[in-house]
Structure 1
């Protein structure tokens, strides 16, 4: 029997983790805004050295409640690891900050690759980018390898995890072995109509088969930029009036801060920074124009609105110390899909039927393509951490090309790797989105997202915050089992609907 963990010690640990989370959130916020951070990297953990020790973390194992024990223990491990990695990350970031590809006189920094591919590139320029980035990845690879060596050695030597998958499983409560098998089946089930539809799209757009395109071409294609001329809004915030149906005003919601400026100092990657839930949530994005901005804003609003709607009376552990964010991704994907759904395109944006059908078809194809990219990354990462060679990028490149159709550079594999199998959180979030979308339609009808009662239903889910993990959440709320069946029904329509 574990001995009882004193209440004052539990409060001390919870407060320490929360204080460090706030420091890190403010650090991220400043960096994304292009502002100087409040703390120098070597001062982020000043004053918390006594908390971040193996002995303290071992003591957290005595907390009786399973959920509280997991969230406190892994919150401490997170910061312990981050402190260990700080010198390595600082060095890698210093080298990465100046990394840039030279394409026909343009200097494309790594951080700007995605928006450049979406809005400023041509097929020939993207091919040149492909040639330029390979050597840059090779140059930076030793830093990435060293980062992962520190992570894996620390987890196995200091905290006795069997391996990296064991660590992630204990932290997030996900059976990665089962999910790996499930995802491989999903890939097989969508192969035929995915490749038929994607090959037709690539031929129509480039007069080339998808196998002759690269990851950078996928970024361009999946931005839906070829239909930006049909987008009826000049700025993504013009769509925020939709939320009046739900009694919400995201632009003036207490605790929610939107930064949608086009400042060049800002990061090109959109992000939601949760400083304190529900009191201070920031959404940052740098608009580039067109449909991708609308999707991006609504995706981040899924994170932001659910966070600021969390019941403030929940404990800190239930509000702010979640160890997985797949439920937040569920809400983000739900709103992202809603942004380009028939009710919004037709009733809110006033688009004609032909345009609605075209955008709807390619939105579904884009979603399937991105889902398969996450699936390919998860499969690659799983195999990399179950006996594969972390330094060998060829298996990653082969898997990505086989599942997405687009060529991926072997040299880039460690720079496409997101810690803690976050791709799995995306996959689960997308499955959860489809289940919620079916429930919403079943309860409120095809145009139910315009019904104020639908908004009240969603807010009742958001109020629960992070009290339950994703699997318990679906069970306790009487939702269907978390499966990919609704997604498969949605995507099978791609084989029946001709592209416009």
Structure 2
């Protein structure tokens, strides 16, 4: 079995798997059947194929070896994952006297203005999530079994070695940044918790999506302004998001469509799909900008660098760096004035509130990572322990009460939370460098767009921290992020 044959198999299977999951996420297909696809590539997702790839030979081989390791897990869990996604696609939440499709109810949390109603929706969602607990445990049990069979006793060590991340060092820096920014966070979040009828440490998590949506600024984020604002933003950068032959946009609202915006990449540099389910308000704008960053990064990748470096990132921190960078344009008060027509004072207020949301999400994800590391530091299949950790750990720093029934649903595989956090640290540093090089309105300079094109042509070759180092920054440092929080939230009028 030659290396080229294995790469071709990964490319073909990745293409099929991405399109299969996209159709389900888009609400265009009710049942996902990745298990059948994976089984067609059983020769690829096997110990024999893994043994043929020497990760020490070079970076491409290292990426392929990592993909095969993850493929071994996916092959064993694919059927159960299909059943789980099918369950949620069909599930209905009983909200009062109304039955609401699960993903539709999840999307309503972001737009429901009545606090009591949000809590009713949250309780209904929790009941559905609890029904899937046994199936989720089955998947996680299988993951741990596969890792042990491959000689990996520690889930944390496995991902640390595969992604080349020191989670202990990362967490130390995150705790420092969170502690330093805590007064800013408390000052911004507490008035909002009170409007929900609760206080810090007693507010149900179900209010977080609505707080994140900043409904008080909906008048600025109109449906009519959305597309012109997005078209002009990318046009000024010289990035043809709406005309790119490699990027396909899906903005339709369907009942079975997952409300979580996403990008599907069947093959970087050749075919990319951007999916957003509009819910109204600022969230639509932020979600579109975020996913546009992913779509442009993968859509403008040069496929000639080779499939492994174009499509297989060492971790998700590098792709998320670019999506957070583009999303951050929407927090700039000058962009709010120019793209959305907000008066200067109002733009400053909105920028401060958007930064407050950013800080809220950063605080949430540091708590999420702390929970996940604690969970996998012991028995991750211990239901009572897992529920207790999820209920107690995030509450201490976020101010929200987390429903223990979400202890597995609210967790992405492979410590994706850490990749998000690493990307936030890197994004703040890269944005600072762009401002120094292209000016405060870097997002309106075609030269900045050309620089981004050059970066994105490299596909997934570098890592987030390496990009920061290339630009003269401090990899893994939270100083740039702290400076941004202070700049926008200290002394600014917050809504």
- TM-score normalized with structure 2 length: 0.93
Is it true that 1:231 corresponds to 2:224 in the alignment? no
Aligned runs of 1:412-451 on 2, under 5 Å? 412-451=406-445
Q: Equivalents in 1 of 2:192, 2:85: separation in Å?
A: 37
Aligned to 2:320: 329
Aligned to 1:24: 17
Aligned to 2:162: 171
Aligned to 1:260: 251
Q: CA RMSD in A?
A: 2.1
Is it true that 1:452 corresponds to 2:446 in the alignment? yes
Q: Kindly provide the CA deviation profile for residues 134-192 of structure 1, in whole angstroms up to 9, marking residues without a partner as x.
A: 44333321111111111011101x21113111211122111112112222222222222
Secondary structure in 2 aligned to 1:336? helix
Q: Choose from 202, 216, 233 the match for 1:212.
A: 202
Distance change in 2, residues 1:284/1:312 (3 Å)? same
Q: Choose from 127, 142, 154 the match for 2:134.
A: 142
Deviation at residue 39 of structure 1 after TM alignment: 8.2
Aligned to 1:243: 234
Secondary structure in 2 aligned to 1:102? strand
Aligned runs of 1:210-359 on 2, under 5 Å? 210-234=200-224, 236-239=226-229, 240-359=231-350
Aligned to 1:3: none
Conserved 8 A contact 2:50-2:68: yes
Deviation at residue 389 of structure 1 after TM alignment: 4.8
Conserved 8 A contact 1:197-1:495: no
Aligned runs of 1:36-115 on 2, under 5 Å? 36=29, 40-60=33-53, 62-115=54-107
Q: Choose from 349, 352, 355 the match for 1:361.
A: 352
Q: Equivalents in 2 of 1:235, 1:285: separation in Å?
A: 17
Deviation at residue 352 of structure 1 after TM alignment: 0.4
Secondary structure in 2 aligned to 1:257? strand
Aligned to 1:468: 462
Distance change in 2, residues 1:118/1:318 (3 Å)? same
Conserved 8 A contact 2:236-2:444: yes
Deviation at residue 480 of structure 1 after TM alignment: 4.2
Unaligned 5+ residue runs, structure 2?
A: none
Q: Kindly provide the CA deviation profile for residues 79-99 of structure 1, in whole angstroms up to 9, marking residues without a partner as x.
A: 221111123223333443343
Q: Equivalents in 2 of 1:83, 1:241: separation in Å?
A: 44
Q: Kindly provide the CA deviation profile for residues 95-126 of structure 1, in whole angstroms up to 9, marking residues without a partner as x.
A: 43343332232323332343201123521112
Q: What is the number of equivalent residue pairs in this alignment?
A: 490
Unaligned 5+ residue runs, structure 1?
A: 1-7
Q: Choose from 356, 368, 376 the match for 1:377.
A: 368
- TM-score normalized with structure 1 length: 0.92
Q: Equivalents in 2 of 1:458, 1:371: separation in Å?
A: 25
Conserved 8 A contact 1:235-1:289: no
Q: Choose from 477, 480, 486 the match for 1:492.
A: 486
Q: Equivalents in 1 of 2:473, 2:2: separation in Å?
A: 37
Q: Equivalents in 2 of 1:38, 1:135: separation in Å?
A: 22
Secondary structure in 1 aligned to 2:210? helix
Distance change in 2, residues 1:326/1:414 (3 Å)? same
Q: Choose from 397, 401, 404 the match for 2:398.
A: 404
Q: Equivalents in 1 of 2:130, 2:412: separation in Å?
A: 18
Q: Equivalents in 1 of 2:367, 2:388: separation in Å?
A: 13
Secondary structure in 2 aligned to 1:230? coil
Deviation at residue 21 of structure 1 after TM alignment: 0.7
Is it true that 1:151 corresponds to 2:147 in the alignment? no
Secondary structure in 1 aligned to 2:401? coil
Aligned to 1:4: none
Conserved 8 A contact 2:293-2:322: yes
Conserved 8 A contact 2:311-2:460: yes
Q: Equivalents in 1 of 2:433, 2:302: separation in Å?
A: 23
Q: Equivalents in 1 of 2:56, 2:188: separation in Å?
A: 53
Q: Equivalents in 1 of 2:316, 2:55: separation in Å?
A: 23
Q: Equivalents in 1 of 2:36, 2:466: separation in Å?
A: 38
Deviation at residue 477 of structure 1 after TM alignment: 4.5
Deviation at residue 385 of structure 1 after TM alignment: 0.6
Conserved 8 A contact 1:324-1:425: yes
Secondary structure in 2 aligned to 1:229? coil
Secondary structure in 1 aligned to 2:94? strand
Aligned to 1:483: 477
Conserved 8 A contact 2:435-2:441: yes
